[in-house]
Structure 1
Amino acid sequence: MNLVDGVLAGDRLALSRLLTAVENDTPAGRAGLDALFARTGRAYLVGITGSPGTGKSSLVNRLVKLFRNPPDGRPAWRVAVVAVDPTSPFTGGAVLGDRVRMRDCAGDPGVFIRSMASRGALGGLAVQTAAVTQVFDAAGYDVILIETVGAGQAEVDIASLAHTTLVVEAPGLGDDIQAIKAGILEIADVLVINKADLAGADNTRRALQTMLERAPAKPWPARLVSTVAVSGAGMEELFWAILDHYQFLKSSQEWQRRDAQRLRAGLDELIRAELVRRWREDTPAEVYESVLNRMAGRKLSPFEALDDLLTTRKQAAA
C-alpha cells in the first residue's frame, strides 16, 4: 500500500510519513499532494495566533477536548493540530514545546498533533503549513487547529490560511495598543483575552473593546471572549463563538471567498518560488555575482541591478 492509499485508509503511520515528505518538499510529498488535492476543501481551519506567553497551547488543548466532546452532545469532530514551533538552532527541527503541552490529547485516536519547525519563515507559519493542512483535510479531519509560532505582531499570514482566526491576548503584556497598530487585531474573527484571572484583565478588556468599536464595520464583527484556559473558565463561550463564526461562513459566501483566497495565496507562493528557481538555473552564476559585486561597491542600485540582469537575460534569449 502506498502512502496516499494508506492515508485514505486511515493509517496513522502512512499519514505521518506523508506529512514528513510534504514538510521536506520531496518529490513523494508533491506527488501525494497532487493525488489528494481533489479530496480537500471540506475541513474547517481555525488559526490561533498571538504573542508568546498568552497561553495559546493551553487554549488549543482545551479546544481539542471541546471539539472531541461538544457540550451540546453533537457528534465528535476529528481534530488535527498543526503546532508551528520555533526552529532548533542545533537540528533545524521543531523545539516541540507545544506538543509537550498538549500531550494529554495525544492518546485520542480522533486527534492527530503535528509539530512543524518554522525554519526561519516569518509571519508565524512554516513554509509548508498550508500543504500539511491539505493532507489532514484529505485524510478526513473535520477541524484543523493551526497554532502559530508566537512571533507577535507580525503574525498575519494565518488570516490568509484559516477560515476563522483567533487572536489571543493576555493582561500585562503591553500589547493592547501595539497589536492594533500592527494590524493583528484586524485579522481577528474572535479576540480572546486569556489568563483573565490575572490583575489588569478588566483594563485589557475595556481597551480592546474600545478598539473593536472603533474598527471599520465588517460583515462579521469580531467577538471578544475572556478565558482562563488552565482552569477551563470561559472555554465553552469561546467554543460557541467559534461555531457561530463557522455557521456565518457556511451561510454566506465567506467560506468560498476564504477558500479562494487561500488557494490564490498558495499559488502565488509557488509561482514566486518556481520563478526564482528558474531564474537561478538560467542565469550564469558569474553574471549574478558580477552584478552583486557592483552593488556591493555601490556602483549599482538594487533597481539598476535588476534592470541589468533583465537586460542580460533578454539579450541571451535573443
Structure 2
Amino acid sequence: MVDVAQLVTQAREGRPRAVARLISLVEGAAPQLREVMAALAPRCGNAYVVGLTGAPGVGKSTSTSALVSAYRRAGRRVAVLAVDPSSPFSGGALLGDRVRMSEHASDPGVYIRSMATRGHLGGLAWAAPQAIRVLDAAGFDVIIVETVGVGQSEVEIAAQADTSVVLLAPGMGDGIQAAKAGILEIGDAYVVNKADRDGADATVRELNHMLGLGEARAPGDWRPPIVKTVAARDQGVDEVIEALDKHRAWMEEHGVLAERRSKRAAREAETIALTTLRERIGELRGGRRLDALAERIVSGSLDPYAAADELIAGLTGVD
C-alpha cells in the first residue's frame, strides 16, 4: 500500500528515495497517480526548468554535469532528468545503467534520474512532464532535462522547458545543419562546446548568420546568445549560467515565463485527456461497437467521419 501523503512529505524533506518512488509511480502510470498529482499541485511552480538538447557527441552529459557544479557553487539545489533511448525488448533506458555524473552522486543537493523514452518521439519520455512536477514539488531550484539527442527532431523539449539550450560542437556537421529547420530553431541559448577544437569560431559565425536570417525581432525581443565552452575543463560554464539567468529575467519582465508555463500546463492536460480517450477506444476494440462501425464503413452505409462522431459520442456521452 502506497502512502502518497507520506511520500510527498518525505520528498519535500529532500529524501531521494521518496522522490525516486514518486517518479516510479509516474513512469508506471500507477493507480495512485491521480492522488500523487493532486498532492503535488499546490507545491509546484517554483523550479526553473532548463532543457538541454543536441546531436550525439556534442557533450550533453559533460555539459550537464558542469552546469550542475556551477549551480551548486551558487547554492542551488539541482535535479537532472536524463532521458535515454529505450530498449526494444524491456522498454528500459538503454543508457540508464551507466554511471552518470558520478562526481555528484554523494551530493544531497543533487538528484539524477534516467528515464526511458519508451518509444515516444521528440526526444522526451512520455512521463517527463509529470516527473518534472515531482522534482519541482520536491523543492529543487533548477531542473535540467537532458534529451535523447538522436538528430534534428528533438524539438519537444522547447514545449517542456522554461529555457531551451541547444548544444553544438565544431566539426560535426552542425554548421551546415544551422540553416535547416528543426532542432536548431528552438534555442533560447546556443552553446558551442568543445570550443578548443578547430572550427569553433566558424560554427559561431554560422549560428550568428542563422539567427540573423530568422524572424524579425522588435526592440526588446530576446536574441539567443551564443556561448563557447569546453565543458570537460569547466571553461565557459559560468557564462552559460549568466545567459540562462538573463533569459529568465527577460521572460519574467515580459510575461513570457508565465505564458510558457500556462501553455505547458495546457499541453499536459490535453495529453492526459487524449491518453484516456485512447485507452477507452482500446477497450472498445475488445467489444463489438468499433467492429460494428467498421463493418458499416466497409459496406458503404456509413462514412468514416460519421463513424468517428458516433464513436466520440459513445465515449463522451455527448450526442
TM-score, L = length of structure 1: 0.88
Output one character per residue of 1:45-75: Cα deviation in whole Å (capped at 9) or x when no partner: 00001111111110000000000003xxxxx
Residues 288, 211 of structure 1: alpha-carbon distance in 2 compared, 3 angstrom cutoff: same
Structure 2 unaligned blocks of 5 or more: none
User: Residues of 2 paired with 1:68 and 1:266: CA distance?
Assistant: 30
Moved more, 269-278 or 283-292: 283-292
User: Does 2:84 match 1:80?
Assistant: no
Structure 1 unaligned blocks of 5 or more: 71-75
User: Residues of 1 paired with 2:147 and 2:25: CA distance?
Assistant: 21
User: Residues of 2 paired with 1:127 and 1:67: CA distance?
Assistant: 27
Paired residues of 1:85 and 1:98 also in contact (CA < 8 A): no
Instruction: Indicate the residue corresponding to 2:25 in structure 1.
Output: 21
How far does residue 183 in structure 1 lie from its aligned partner after superposition?
Answer: 3.0
How far does residue 150 in structure 1 lie from its aligned partner after superposition?
Answer: 0.8
Paired residues of 2:179 and 2:210 also in contact (CA < 8 A): yes
TM-score, L = length of structure 2: 0.88
Select which of 64, 71, 89 maps to 1:67: 71
Paired residues of 2:174 and 2:203 also in contact (CA < 8 A): no
Residues 291, 180 of structure 1: alpha-carbon distance in 2 compared, 3 angstrom cutoff: farther
How far does residue 27 in structure 1 lie from its aligned partner after superposition?
Answer: 1.6
Instruction: Indicate the residue corresponding to 1:55 in structure 2.
Output: 59
Moved more, 179-188 or 57-66: 179-188
1:136-285 correspondence to structure 2 within 5 Å? 136-218=135-217, 219-282=221-284, 285=287
User: Does 2:41 match 1:37?
Assistant: yes
Paired residues of 1:118 and 1:125 also in contact (CA < 8 A): yes
User: Residues of 2 paired with 1:136 and 1:26: CA distance?
Assistant: 18
Moved more, 272-281 or 122-131: 272-281
Output one character per residue of 1:274-315: Cα deviation in whole Å (capped at 9) or x when no partner: 2222233346644545777999xxx699x9545434347769
Paired residues of 2:52 and 2:145 also in contact (CA < 8 A): yes
Output one character per residue of 1:86-126: Cα deviation in whole Å (capped at 9) or x when no partner: 11234211123596241111111000001100101000000
User: Residues of 1 paired with 2:312 and 2:37: CA distance?
Assistant: 33
User: Does 2:9 match 1:12?
Assistant: no
User: Residues of 1 paired with 2:66 and 2:249: CA distance?
Assistant: 21
User: Residues of 2 paired with 1:122 and 1:239: CA distance?
Assistant: 29
Paired residues of 1:63 and 1:239 also in contact (CA < 8 A): yes
Moved more, 240-249 or 95-104: 95-104
Q: Secondary structure at the match of 2:99?
A: helix
Instruction: Indicate the residue corresponding to 1:73 in structure 2.
Output: none
How far does residue 198 in structure 1 lie from its aligned partner after superposition?
Answer: 1.7
Residues 312, 276 of structure 1: alpha-carbon distance in 2 compared, 3 angstrom cutoff: closer
Instruction: Indicate the residue corresponding to 1:124 in structure 2.
Output: 123
Paired residues of 1:166 and 1:191 also in contact (CA < 8 A): yes
How far does residue 246 in structure 1 lie from its aligned partner after superposition?
Answer: 1.7
Q: Secondary structure at the match of 1:256?
A: helix
User: Residues of 1 paired with 2:84 and 2:51: CA distance?
Assistant: 14
Output one character per residue of 1:155-182: Cα deviation in whole Å (capped at 9) or x when no partner: 1111111111001111122133435422
Paired residues of 2:178 and 2:207 also in contact (CA < 8 A): no
User: Residues of 1 paired with 2:195 and 2:287: CA distance?
Assistant: 56
Paired residues of 2:54 and 2:168 also in contact (CA < 8 A): yes
In the comparison of the two structures, how many residue pairs are matched? 309
Q: Secondary structure at the match of 1:271?
A: helix
Give runs of ≥4 in structure 1 deviating > 6 Å.
290-295, 315-318
Residues 41, 198 of structure 1: alpha-carbon distance in 2 compared, 3 angstrom cutoff: same
Moved more, 257-266 or 278-287: 278-287
Letter in 2 for 1:9: E
Letter in 1 for 2:57: G
1:106-125 correspondence to structure 2 within 5 Å? 106-125=105-124
User: Residues of 2 paired with 1:255 and 1:167: CA distance?
Assistant: 19
Q: Secondary structure at the match of 1:182?
A: coil
Provide the identity percentage: 43
Moved more, 93-102 or 201-210: 93-102
Paired residues of 1:192 and 1:226 also in contact (CA < 8 A): yes
Paired residues of 2:123 and 2:155 also in contact (CA < 8 A): yes
Q: Secondary structure at the match of 2:273?
A: helix
Moved more, 152-161 or 138-147: 152-161
Residues 233, 294 of structure 1: alpha-carbon distance in 2 compared, 3 angstrom cutoff: farther
Q: Secondary structure at the match of 1:126?
A: coil
Letter in 2 for 1:160: A
Paired residues of 1:19 and 1:29 also in contact (CA < 8 A): no
